[in-house]
Amino acid sequence: MGQRRFANKVVIVTGAGSGIGAAMAERFSHEGACLSLSDIDLNALQRVVKKAKLPARRTLLTAVDAGLAVDVERQVAETIARFGKLDVLLNNVGIATFGFIDDCTEERWRRVQDVTLGSAFFSVKAALPYLRKSKGNVVFTASITGLRGDSGLAVYSSAKAGVANFCRSLAIDHAPDGIRFNAVCPGVTFTPRTQWMADSKVVANEIKARVPMGRMGLPHEMAAAAAFLASDDASYITGVNLPVDGGATAGSGLPFFKRLLPDRKK
């Protein structure tokens, strides 16, 4: 992280209170950015600032319910009031629900869609006038489960699929404005929310068997991909949903025959 690609840049990071969002905050700050961080839990943001030693003069914290347009709009307004501009928007908010569709209430469906997909709409709509001025860019946190289906995740998958295609469409619409739109699509990533997966021997072994690199991703690896897409190093990249998944989506879904039958020659 010796690079300073975001010196004098103003970056919004939503969902910055833990996991991937916290790693993004640390990465972009260390590369010189002024940060506007939001989360529904202000105390979580304060812990991130303390742990990562983020400089107070370059960091703004806002408590935001990302499923509410008025909250998202307030963060953008406070960012402009504090820093005077906006260069990068990292839309990193999402909530999941697990189970089949007949287990999901209408209220839960709407909440997942509002926070996961709605936040992308709210934040881009609020930020767009300022991104036009700066010729800035947006990086969404989508998911590999938004690129392909997964059992028990129909509600979450549909929201993340919306984020992925929202990204593609915006990239086309706003290329003439000089604004780029891309998305990082994490595979299974080790965060406080997925700690239970690492703690479960059955789940951990299944991840090891299914992911070619044999492990969960780490938040800083997702942050590094986002930093690349948001930087001038990616100046000719837009409309991309980049899987950062240890090779999980590289295969067709067939078993790893060589692992199952290591001695088979033909």
CATH of the domain at 26: 3.40.50.720
> For residue 254, is it within any domain?
no
**CA–CA distance, 251 with 129 (Å, rounded to integer):** 40
Q: How many domains does the chain have?
A: 1
- pLDDT single digits (tens) 155-204: 999 999 999 999 999 999 999 999 999 999 999 898 888 788 878 888 88
Closest residue by Cα to residue 192 from 158, 211, 222, 218: 218
pLDDT of residue 1: 55
Residues of the chain with pLDDT under 50: none
pLDDT value at residue 141: 97
Strand order in the sheet with 241-244: 59-63, 34-39, 10-13, 88-91, 137-141, 180-186, 241-244
Any domain includes 28? yes
Residue 131 is assigned to a structural domain of this protein: yes
Query: Which pTM does this prediction carry?
Result: 0.93
Q: Which domain holds residue 84?
A: 10-187+217-244
83, 156, 166, 181: the catalytic one is: 156
pLDDT of 266: 60
Give 182-217 as a 3 state SS string.
EEEEECCECCHHHHHHHHCHHHHHHHHHHCCCCCCE
156 is catalytic: yes
